[in-house]
């Protein structure tokens, strides 16, 4: 794609044309050789979107909650981009995943953009492609970027690194699920949402969480954010407005305490480092494909060089690029 076409594409994305946004995300997600150019063109228009991470164990009603939250955010007049990350799927692109069909109610709303992203098989996974996609949505003037992870485990941790605010969804009666989630969940959650609040055990879940939060706070020093617990019944849209209010409170707190700048700086550090490491790895791979590594390896086999000295020579070559 010639540079002028890229300029035009970025222009159209900034006007909010969904096809241009989708095309740009496809380009950055597939690590197109133009990904650096795209980032350069987009960067001046970024920094305005609030990035919200939404995670939780399977079965808590994440899709329904995302949909309810979307409705509430739209009622508040905000344009919302959604990135639904599915670490288990090798398929990516504009197509909606099965349980995301419910989101079709937003499909015709020009203030909403929904995108599924697969991370399986992608080098660097979530942590590589997602910040690039967030940048596209940010530059395309979405006020909020919602990153929803379908999975659990590593993706939960990764989503926190990308988000200004992380929402952890729980539901009553999850038994072991909530137990397993507990360990990591307290550290990553800025806002807790207990969905299916009309079900048996909802109050017990809230009570459990309150105790965990109190215990954890005793170990903290300095000013800290008191994680709110919001009860929702996402299937009826109940509580979504309160979730938006909690998100706004957290944003205010983040800004007032310099924590937003700190989080965004940390995020930028992670991203810059990941790009640098990926680039170095690619350069090493080039050397591997070439004769130089083979020549060095043969010297090692011949005992004329030890492998550390050979690695040193390889790095010297890399620096001499």
Q: Which of residues 36-55 bind a second copy (CB under 8 A)?
A: 36, 39-40, 42-44, 46-47
Backbone φ, ψ for residue 232 (5° rounding) = -135, 155
**What is the H or E stretch that residue 51 is in?**
strand 50-55
Residues 29, 30, 31, 34: is their CA dihedral positive or negative? negative
Between 182 and 262, whose beta carbon lies closer to a second copy? 262
Between 88 and 294, whose beta carbon lies closer to a second copy? 294
Helix (H, G, I), strand (E, B) or coil at 117: strand
What gap in Å lies between CA 204 and CA 172, rounded to an integer?
8
Between 243 and 260, whose beta carbon lies closer to a second copy? 260
Q: If binding is defined by CB under 8 A, does position 276 make contact with a second copy?
A: yes
Q: If binding is defined by CB under 8 A, does position 5 make contact with a second copy?
A: no
Q: If binding is defined by CB under 8 A, does position 186 make contact with a second copy?
A: no
Between 139 and 181, whose beta carbon lies closer to a second copy? 139
Q: If binding is defined by CB under 8 A, does position 314 make contact with a second copy?
A: yes
DSSP string, 76-107: TT--EEEEEEETT-S--BSSPPGGGGGGGGGT
Q: Which of residues 53-92 bind a second copy (CB under 8 A)?
A: none
CB of 133 to a second copy, least distance (A): 13
CA 291 vs CA 288, 294, 295, 320: distances in Å: 7, 5, 6, 16
Q: If binding is defined by CB under 8 A, does position 319 make contact with a second copy?
A: yes
Between 6 and 169, whose beta carbon lies closer to a second copy? 6
The interface region with a second copy, picked from 72-80, 217-225, 248-256, 312-320 by CB under 8 A, is 312-320
């Amino acid at each position: 794609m010639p540079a002028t076409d890229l300029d035009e594409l970025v222009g159209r994305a900034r006007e909010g044309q969904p096809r241009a946004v989708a095309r740009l995300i496809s380009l950055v997600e597939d690590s197109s050789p133009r990904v650096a150019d795209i980032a350069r063109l987009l960067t001046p228009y970024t920094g305005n979107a609030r990035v919200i991470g939404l995670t939780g164990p399977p079965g808590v009603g994440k899709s329904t909650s995302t949909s309810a939250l979307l409705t509430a955010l739209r009622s508040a007049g905000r344009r919302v981009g959604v990135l639904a990350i599915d670490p288990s799927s090798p398929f990516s692109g504009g197509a909606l995943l099965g349980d995301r069909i419910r989101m079709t109610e937003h499909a015709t709303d020009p203030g909403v953009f929904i995108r599924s992203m697969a991370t399986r098989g992608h080098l660097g996974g979530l942590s590589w492609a997602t910040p690039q996609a967030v940048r596209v949505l940010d530059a395309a003037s979405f006020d909020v970027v919602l990153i929803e992870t379908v999975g659990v485990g590593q993706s939960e941790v990764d989503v926190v690194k990308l988000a200004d605010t992380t929402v952890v969804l729980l539901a009553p009666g999850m038994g072991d699920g909530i137990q397993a989630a507990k360990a990591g969940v307290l550290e990553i959650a800025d806002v807790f949402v207990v969905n299916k609040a009309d079900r048996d055990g909802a109050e017990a879940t809230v009570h459990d969480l309150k105790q965990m939060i109190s215990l954890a706070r005793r170990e903290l020093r300095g000013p800290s954010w008191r994680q709110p617990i919001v009860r929702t019944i996402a299937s009826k849209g109940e509580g979504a407005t309160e979730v938006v209010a909690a998100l706004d409170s957290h944003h205010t707190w983040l800004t007032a305490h310099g924590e937003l700048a700190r989080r965004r700086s940390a995020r930028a550090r992670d991203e810059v480092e990941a790009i640098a490491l990926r680039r170095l790895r690619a350069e090493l791979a080039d050397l591997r494909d070439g004769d130089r590594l083979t020549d060095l390896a043969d010297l090692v086999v011949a005992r004329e060089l030890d492998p550390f000295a050979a690695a040193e020579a390889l790095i010297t070559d890399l620096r001499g690029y």
